[in-house]
């Protein structure tokens, strides 16, 4: 009985525009169902109209209707009460309302915030799937109405029961593309989610990021660092999806723009162990940009060292890429006349590390073509690498000549 009274009081207070008190009573009622609030948020008929129960206390208050209409009717009652008070007639309207009348906008925000409070508590209850869909979808409606972007993104990126069909046009038209991308991602709609992250990465400076109020540079020209930061955020979110999906076409379609922003992320996508089925190495290599040498190298290294690939073609390709990188680093170091000692030391360490990796691979693998590699480094200063290759080819005399020449023996 007490739950019935709390629900009854709640509705009466709600129509009196005392939204905080109303929701406090709703929360004290164990029998009230979240669906009873739905008509205040979305006009009937709608997807959840059949869920709305008709309770006995509904005869004690006007029928539920959209919040704007509740507030408009309440303000009319308030204006009538003000007129009667001036005429010396007593009214039942709260004196606080009469002495300090609220604006329509303030009342609407207050109502929305309190309904949000009720729906958030309702999420923790044991509800039917249809009720949960209604709660989460309408909660997103209300978050968007107040432009509560952080709450929108938190709901969209977590486990939720939002109905995408009810929200995608709303979020798209209002420019809340990040929220829509998170929502698509939470529903396994990977293609749609990544497509939005791509749009955001390309259009950071055009205002499509307006749903992120904490972005820097809002009152001045954006620096390249700010722009890069926005691009990186989009690339990171896209990479989370691409690392988990086994949809090869989707991965290869979006690999390029992620690589343009961050080659480490692109490599992580290709070498991810999270997907159920690995990508075709042949198609990946065919799709790789020839100028993205670092990605190519690290992908081949992963194939060979982590996946145990024994394809001679890949072993030869990896050896050639390492050799070319070592030669380029050697050439850059020899033309570093304007660098300071610290920069030179860093270059030397990098070259040493790169050559060490090349030498170890040339010694460890028997699957690459030593003649192909030798053709590439023949005119270079990579004398130890040449010695390793000649030894692989069984030409020990040349190996001894190289060692004697370089060591002064």
pLDDT by residue for the chain (409 residues), tens digit each? 798 899 999 999 999 999 999 999 999 999 899 999 999 999 999 999 999 888 766 677 788 899 999 999 988 888 887 777 667 777 766 677 667 888 999 999 999 999 999 999 999 999 999 999 999 999 999 999 999 999 999 999 999 999 999 999 999 999 999 999 999 999 999 999 999 999 999 986 444 454 454 433 334 444 444 445 788 999 999 999 999 999 999 999 999 999 999 999 999 999 999 999 999 999 999 999 999 999 999 999 999 999 999 999 999 999 999 999 999 888 776 665 565 666 656 667 878 899 999 999 999 999 999 999 999 999 998 999 999 999 999 999 999 999 998 876 5
Cα torsion 81, 86, 89, 91: sign: positive
Q: Say if residues 399 and 391 touch (Cβ distance below 8 Å).
A: yes
Q: Give 375's contacts (C-beta < 8 A, 6+ positions apart).
A: none
Rounded Cα distance between 45 and 43, Å, is 6
Rounded Cα distance between 345 and 405, Å, is 26
Q: Give 304's contacts (C-beta < 8 A, 6+ positions apart).
A: 314, 315, 318, 365
Buried b (16+ CB within 10 A) or exposed e, 108-145: bebbbebbbbbbeebeeeebeeebbbbbbbbbbbbbbb
Q: Say if residues 287 and 270 touch (Cβ distance below 8 Å).
A: no
pTM for the full model?
A: 0.86
Q: Residue ranges per domain, the chain?
A: 1-146, 310-409
Rounded Cα distance between 183 and 211, Å, is 15
Rounded to the nearest 10°, the torsion over CA 107, 111, 114, 116 is -130
Query: Which residue from 8, 60, 52, 51 is spatially nearest to 29, judged by alpha carbons?
Result: 8
Query: Which residue from 302, 193, 212, 198 is spatially nearest to 260, judged by alpha carbons?
Result: 198
């Amino acid at each position: 009985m007490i739950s019935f009274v709390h629900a009854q009081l709640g509705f009466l207070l709600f129509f009196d525009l005392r939204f905080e008190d109303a929701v406090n009573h709703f929360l004290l009622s164990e029998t009230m169902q979240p669906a009873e609030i739905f008509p205040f948020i979305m006009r009937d008929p709608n997807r959840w109209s059949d869920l709305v129960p008709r309770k006995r206390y509904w005869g004690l208050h006007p029928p539920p209707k959209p919040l704007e209409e509740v507030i408009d009717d309440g303000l009319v009652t308030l204006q009538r009460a003000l007129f009667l008070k001036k005429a010396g007639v007593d009214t039942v309207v709260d004196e606080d309302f009469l002495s300090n009348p609220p604006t329509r906008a303030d009342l609407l925000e207050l109502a929305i915030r309190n309904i949000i409070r009720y729906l958030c508590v309702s999420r923790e209850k044991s509800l039917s799937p249809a009720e949960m869909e209604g709660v989460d979808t309408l909660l997103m409606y209300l978050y968007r109405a107040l432009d509560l972007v952080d709450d929108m993104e938190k709901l969209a990126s977590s486990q939720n029961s939002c109905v995408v069909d009810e929200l995608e046009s709303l979020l798209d038209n209002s420019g809340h593309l990040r929220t829509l991308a998170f929502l698509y991602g939470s529903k396994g709609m990977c293609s749609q989610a990544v497509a939005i992250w791509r749009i955001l990465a390309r259009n950071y400076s055009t205002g499509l990021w307006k749903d992120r109020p904490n972005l820097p540079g809002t009152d001045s020209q954006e620096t390249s660092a700010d722009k890069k930061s926005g691009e990186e955020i989009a690339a990171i979110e896209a990479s989370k999806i691409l690392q988990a999906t086994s949809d090869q076409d989707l991965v290869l379609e979006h690999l390029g723009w992620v690589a343009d922003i961050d080659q480490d992320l692109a490599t992580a996508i290709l070498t991810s162990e999270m997907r159920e089925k690995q990508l075709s190495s042949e198609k990946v290599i065919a799709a790789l940009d020839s100028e993205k040498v670092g990605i190519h190298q690290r992908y081949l290294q992963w194939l060979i060292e982590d996946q145990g690939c024994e394809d001679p073609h890949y072993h030869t390709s990896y050896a050639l890429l390492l050799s070319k990188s070592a030669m380029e680093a050697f050439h850059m170091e020899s033309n570093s006349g304007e660098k300071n000692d610290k920069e030179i030391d860093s270059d030397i360490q990098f070259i040493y590390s790169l050559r060490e990796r090349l030498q170890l691979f040339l010694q460890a693998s028997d699957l690459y073509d030593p003649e192909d590699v030798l053709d590439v480094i023949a005119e270079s200063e990579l004398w130890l690498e040449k010695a390793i290759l000649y030894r692989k080819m069984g030409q020990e005399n040349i190996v001894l000549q190289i060692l004697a020449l370089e060591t002064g023996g």
